[in-house]
Amino acid sequence: MTDVAVIGVQWGDEGKGKIVDWLSARADVVVRFQGGHNAGHTLVIDGKVYKLSLLPSGVVREGRLGVIGSGVVVDPWALFAEIARIEDQGVHVTPASLAIAENACLILPVHSELDAMREGAATGTKIGTTKRGIGPAYEDRAGRRAIRVVDLLHTDTLAGKVENLLVHHNAIRRGLGAAEVDAAALTEKLKEIAPKIAPFVKPVWKLLDEARKAGKRILFEGAQGVLLDVDHGTYPYVTSSNTVAGQAATGSGLGPRAVGYVLGIVKAYTTRVGEGPFPTELVDAIGEKIGARGHEFGTVTGRKRRCGWFDATLVRQSLKVAGVDGVALTKLDVLDGFETLNVCVGYDIDGARFDYLPAGIDAQSRIKPVYETMEGWKGSTVGARSWAQLPAEAVKYVRRIEELIERPVALVSTSPERDDVILMKDPFEN
């Protein structure tokens, strides 16, 4: 048995929530290790839809421990609003089912306000953020002025830490022509939320170490995707954290040997939310058809996703950068009924052929995708749970993707329902 990390290897929205939920049936602990409540995971269980942002997907299963690791930035007000929403759906979240790392950093109202002011400014690069304060919170963490979860357990020293934080933020707000934040009011707001979060706060690194020693299976759940990684993504149109599998070690406190198998989630086509390059984007009726059939709207923001053909060149690069062992291919059913399907197998930039995505945004803007055309299928893949239930052309599509991305497909998802999965390899059986 081995512990597994699940990450997205495109621009997020690959269907990680369903796969993590499906795998959590084999796990004891599910750990979120980066990102914040900008991530959105939709789970469909027995026809009931659960929309999660900050909570680990494992919380919807009884008997599983959900963990929010130190690599996550936590908006405590958003967290408890999310807990209230899923409790209305019958899922009870208690300190026995959720642990929050004491050394995780907080997202405060000042962060989301700064995020919105920057995106709304007349000048500067529009990143297309969710305006939830993720980037500014990570900036404060790197700047060593952040308020951490553990600080809420020591409210007698909180005021000084808030004042130190606001020296930085109020200077920025003055420059943007915004009113300064009152330190006393923010401190009081934090003191009010402190008793609610306190029962969940744990030394997560120790908790996870004890779980490993006890032989429990751990599932590490990533947010966003490799192409949004702050180092390896389409910079500057990226998130503010590392989304690759290596972050599972840093963001949980377990170390790199804790992850035995890395499962990369890949959509059978490509989508992206927000700004930035997208070589295979379809701004035509086919793109609209894919978006409509795939219900391509953001879980968190409701924003319409940009849609395009599968980009094997990008996915292959992401898999290598992130150290992925095998792939879960999702939303294959969305491609049912297309006469032909295109797969990007390389790029043309000013007449030169590339088998990878150059890092420079200027070169990225001049990419022309090189396509391989494949025959589509007339039959349905919806709900298939074995290879025998797939049309022959669909099997060929999956096998060709395996060849192009140079990694095996470990499982295929054929609908949003939890159990509609074709399993070739159980990631825990490494």
> Among the options 41, 111, 169, 232, which is catalytic?
41
Query: Which of 139, 12, 124, 161 shows the shortest CA–CA distance to 73?
Result: 139
Straight-line distance from the first to the last Cα atom of the chain, in angstroms, rounded to the nearest whole number: 6
* Beta carbons within 8 Å of 316's beta carbon, 6+ residues apart: 404, 405, 406, 407
The total number of residues shown for the chain amounts to: 430
Rg of the chain (C-alpha set): 22
Number of neighbouring beta carbons within 10 Å of residue 117: 16
Residue 409 has which token pair? 């497909």
Q: What is the C-alpha separation between 284 and 142, in angstroms, rounded? A: 42
Half-sphere exposure (Cβ direction) of 375: Cα atoms closer than 13 Å: 8
CB < 8 Å & 24+ apart, contacts of 160-167? 162/186, 162/187, 162/190, 165/108, 165/110, 165/140, 166/110
Q: How far apart are CA 401 and CA 394, in angstroms?
A: 11
* Selection from 156, 158, 139 nearest residue 148 by Cα: 158
Burial of 94 (0-12, 13-18, 19+ CB in 10 A): exposed
41 counts as catalytic: yes
Q: How far apart are CA 205 and CA 102, in angstroms?
A: 10
Q: Hey, is 41 helix, strand or coil?
A: strand
* Catalytic hit among 3, 13, 75, 115: 13
Catalytic residue positions?
13, 41
